[in-house]
Amino acid sequence: MTSRLTRVIAVSMALTATTFGVSGCGSAQAGTVRGGRLTLPVEGGTASVDTATLAVSARAGDGTRLVLSEGARGGLGQPGPVARTADGARWSYPGKGLTVTARSEQGRLAIRVRSDRDQSVSWPVTGTDRAASDVQVPRGEGLDIPVRDAFWNSGRGGLVGSTVDVGADLALPLWGYAMGGDASRGNGARHGVSYVTPTDIGTSLRFASEGGALRATAAHDFDAGDGTRDYEVSFALTDGNPVAPAADYRSYLAQRGQLGSLREKIARNPANGKLLGAFHAYVWGQARTAEGVSRLRKSGVDRMWLGYDAGPDPMDAAAVRAAEQAGYLVGPYDSFANGQDAKTADSPTSTWPGTVYPDFCVRKADGSPETGFGGRGCYLSSRAFEKAEPTEHYLADRTREMTANGADSYFLDVDATGEVFRDHGAGHEMTRAGDRANRLARMGRLAKDFVLGSESAQPWANGVLAFDHGSGTPVADGLWPLERDKATWGGYYPQNAPKNFFKPVTLPADLATAMYDPKYRVPLYETALHGSLVNAERWELSYDKLPAQKTTRALLAMLNNTPLNFVLDGPSIAENGKELAALQKYFAPLHKAAGTEEMTSFRWLTGDRSVQRTVFGDGTLTVTANFGGRAYDGLPGGCVDARLRGEKQPRRLCPAQVNS
């Protein structure tokens, strides 16, 4: 790509001339207000806000005019007078009880809306610029979708007509649009816009097909009880690269001291360094024993994270010692989120001492408990635990029990996901933001002593987590019905090799396209958070679970410098151990070199997007993956080349050739 330097964000985040991001340089001049239009300098040009409607437009440095948002849906009423501020302006919509401030903030246009009453506002309304060519959506690792793509403009992609919770359903609180030609290949002028919503709680994003093109409209619910009476959207002009919105968000986090560093986590707890070069696996049956661990190591696997559930046969101290001697991490699966009656509980992690259940249940406004996942028990209040912990030590005692075998890692399910709760329970009331804060506090305590992971880590947890399982998977709605179909997907039996883990499954064609077609996949999550934590796919989607996607998933993992996730028992180590070892042997040196670096470049090398390239750090690692069926510049289809800095010849992997 021939883009110029992006935004200077921090000493540790200086980007190279081959990188994506925010384009151009903004003027330092003060904004102007004329005829109800506020114009402010932003990096790459100027932005204008219509104070009557909240419509937002921009003029790029090359003179191109861009529509960033139409006016708020449903109207806002007559605006009050506009008052200048030091870096922008303030005005109100008295009929709606809204006060708006708009300002230039570190090269972006920041618009904040405060409401004096509970209500909802639909804004910004995006994707309406005629030049809009692609929309970027952080569903899992990330998608870049041509706005007129027939598949995604139909119901087959599961996007049109859907409304997603920005704080719960998206991996990052952002979306973006690209306009014009293909800047990733140096093809003509190209622009883009990044939308970041720091106030993601209470914010949703609705997708619609209008005139055959995808549009996205945000909405925010202002609710005093939920603490969401404030709403903020940050707009940034970009060079239109498909991962530019995520690069903008990374700089946004860094500027505010909210970007974690895996390198610093390793310095604080050296055991975190074992993640570098490691694949991940949940183990069953003989794979949980010292003998099984020894067989895995003898197969050639020198780095692994091994997890096990809290069932009747966890890994014992001998197995943990064997794993430590092999250079592996070991961690139990646990959850602080579910409580059930001890007499009927279906999981040890749902059983708590005394009257934690039902006293700690999250309560709805009517006093009824918030039913737990899958209709099991109730969700437990993080506030109730935090209040009790100094004297009762429920969480500390649980952790001590779970790691008595010497485990040096911990997987805490759902704590870092976006599903948080408002609790009306007497004595442990909390807002959803409060729930996040409580979860961060307890994860922070765990991270001091363990290599901590959680499910589908939201960026607000990136400072405490070392790894996550789930944010690598762009889950489409059709996955959940498929997983509930036990005849197809498999159930939780037999105990030593549950079919829901081990039974191979063929994804329906539309679901496979929505989740794994490489022409739509882009590394938004890695662009934002690579080098902060290690990201993998969902635990139930092991590498062997989806045979038809194995090559694609292996190429994506190498391209994004992220580990593959496996499930192992005794027979699978014997049958697939050599394949796992070959893949891990290829991955390990690449991840050891670049796992603590940021992803500084992503681009497509062919018009059909079948050949893709990433760069990490200042050229520390360059990876080229060919997802197509024909060779490109000597790289066969279905293969990947990786070159570490200083190496003359790339390292090549063709996953189909090592598949068992």
- Exposed/middle/buried for residue 12 (C-beta within 10 Å: 0-12, 13-18, 19+): exposed
- Residue type (1 letter), 278: A
* pLDDT the model gives residue 31: 82
Over residues 149-170, the pLDDT tens digits come to 999 999 999 999 999 999 999 9
What pLDDT shows up at residue 659? 64
The whole-number average pLDDT for the span 255-266 is: 98
d(C-alpha 352, C-alpha 338), whole Å? 9
Q: Looking at residue 36, what DSSP letter applies?
A: T
Mean pLDDT within 560-580: 97
Q: pLDDT at position 49, please?
A: 98
**Which DSSP category does 91 fall into?**
E
Q: Please check the confidence at residue 99 and state whether its pLDDT lies above 80.
A: yes
pLDDT band, residue 9 (cuts 50/70/90): very low
Q: Compute the CA torsion angle 269, 270, 272, 273 (nearest 10 deg).
A: 160
Tell me what pLDDT residue 615 has: 98
Closest CA to 467 of 482, 477, 481, 457: 457
| Weakest mean pLDDT among 11-15, 565-569, 641-645, 654-658 | 11-15
What is the residue whose two structure tokens read 């947890």?
461
What is the pLDDT of the chain when averaged over all its residues? 93
3-state helix, strand, coil in the chain (%, to 5): 25, 30, 45
| 184 has pLDDT over 70 | no
Sheet-wide strand order for 651-653: 599-604, 611-616, 621-626, 639-644, 651-653
Q: Distance (Å, rounded) from C-alpha 456 to C-alpha 236?
A: 26
Does the pLDDT value for residue 281 go beyond 70?
yes
Q: Is the pLDDT of residue 377 over 70?
A: yes
* Across 26-30, 92-96, 490-494, least confident range: 26-30
**In the predicted model, is pLDDT for residue 612 greater than 90?**
yes
Closest C-alpha to 616, from 640, 593, 600: 600
Q: pLDDT tens, 424-435?
A: 999 999 999 999
Predicted local distance difference test score (pLDDT) of residue 182 = 55
> For residue 24, is pLDDT > 50?
no
pLDDT band, very low/low/confident/very high, at 312 (cuts 50, 70, 90): confident
Mean pLDDT, residues 123-137: 97
Residue 414: which pLDDT band, with cuts at 50, 70 and 90? very high
Alpha carbon distance 39, 488 (integer Å): 57
- Report whether pLDDT(423) > 50: yes
The one-letter amino acid at 517: D
Q: What is the pLDDT of residue 374?
A: 87
Residue 11 has pLDDT above 70, yes or no: no
With a CB cutoff of 8 Å and minimum separation 6, the contacts of 354 are: none
Q: β-strand 213-222 against 304-308: which pairing, if any? A: unpaired
Q: Assign 549 a pLDDT band (cuts: 50, 70, 90).
A: very high
DSSP strand pairing (37-42 vs 32-34): antiparallel
Supply 106's token pair: 């570190």
- Residue 13 in this model has a pLDDT that exceeds 50: no
Quote the pLDDT of residue 311: 80
Q: What is the pLDDT of residues 282-303, one digit of tens each?
A: 999 999 999 999 999 999 999 9
pLDDT at 250: 98
Q: Where are the beta strands (DSSP E) in 63-212?
A: 65-69, 83-85, 88-93, 98-105, 108-115, 119-126, 132-137, 143-146, 163-165, 174-182, 187-196, 203-210
Percent of the chain's residues with pLDDT above 70:
94
**pLDDT value at residue 22:** 46
